[in-house]
Amino acid sequence: MFFGSEENKDPSSVFTDARDEEVLAASLDMPQVFEILVDRYQDAFTRKARSILGDREEVQDAVMETFTKIYLNASRFRPVPGASFSSWGYKILINTTLSYYKKLKRHREAVVELSPEHYEVLPDTADDFRDSELRDMAAVLLSMLPKPFERVLRLHILEDRSQEEVARIEGVSIAAVKTRVHRAKQHIKKLGELGIF
């Protein structure tokens, strides 16, 4: 064998351009492959954790714990329709970061208050969903809602249908659609307060 030949290649290099889900699955047999996901998500996860915790050392702890949880639970990962690995990863990150936030608050450290954006995750128009990360998070959140709320928000927010179209599809009045959207947002806010996302 010659140095630098195909046989000496790092086996994880085959997965450099693979989809996240494929990389995660491969990491079950080849742990070194997981580093690809760390490289892809570390900066974004750090920014998201910092937006909740502020600029403090616990940000890095939350991010590292998130990657550990993702790796340890890799075999449990199941794609949700309309979502991806990143939505699952962000859900774990947010749950982990909110746990750190609660610990800091219990210890009476000065912490950054959660902004309304963490509770009002679902805006009223699809124009606010250009960012795929937010779309993935929304898909995960929708899957946690009671079916009537989930259907109305999926049609209105993710499929960009007007409230009139949603009312026609669901066979309800426009007022009923508005009520379900409002109640769904309240439900999501409660999930956030409970630390479920």
Which CATH number is 169's domain given? Answer: 1.10.10.10
Nearest to 52 by CA among 94, 11, 108: 94
**How is residue 80 annotated by DSSP?**
P
* Burial (Cβ within 10 Å: 0-12, 13-18, ≥19) of residue 35: middle
End-to-end CA distance of the chain: 51
Q: Is the pLDDT of residue 31 over 50?
A: yes
pTM over 0.75: no
Distance (Å, whole) CA 154 – CA 160: 8
Q: Looking at the 3D structure of the chain, how many domains does it have?
A: 2
Confidence label for 111 from pLDDT (cuts 50, 70 and 90): very low
- The domain of 154 spans 122-197
| Among 114, 134, 156, residue at a domain's last position | 114
Phi, psi angle pair for 8, to nearest 5°: -85, -5
Q: Is 1 part of a structural domain of the chain?
A: no
* Same-domain status, 193 and 135: yes
Task: Identify the pLDDT of residue 73.
Answer: 87
Question: Which of 13-17, 82-86, 116-120, 160-164 is predicted least confidently?
Answer: 116-120
- Mean pLDDT computed over 12-39: 88
* Same-domain status, 107 and 128: no
* Burial (Cβ within 10 Å: 0-12, 13-18, ≥19) of residue 184: buried
Distance (Å, whole) CA 61 – CA 92: 13
* Same-domain status, 156 and 182: yes
Task: Identify the pLDDT of residue 17.
Answer: 85
Which CATH number is 66's domain given? Answer: 1.10.1740.10
Using one digit for the tens of pLDDT, what is the confidence trace for 41-61?
Answer: 999 999 988 888 888 888 999
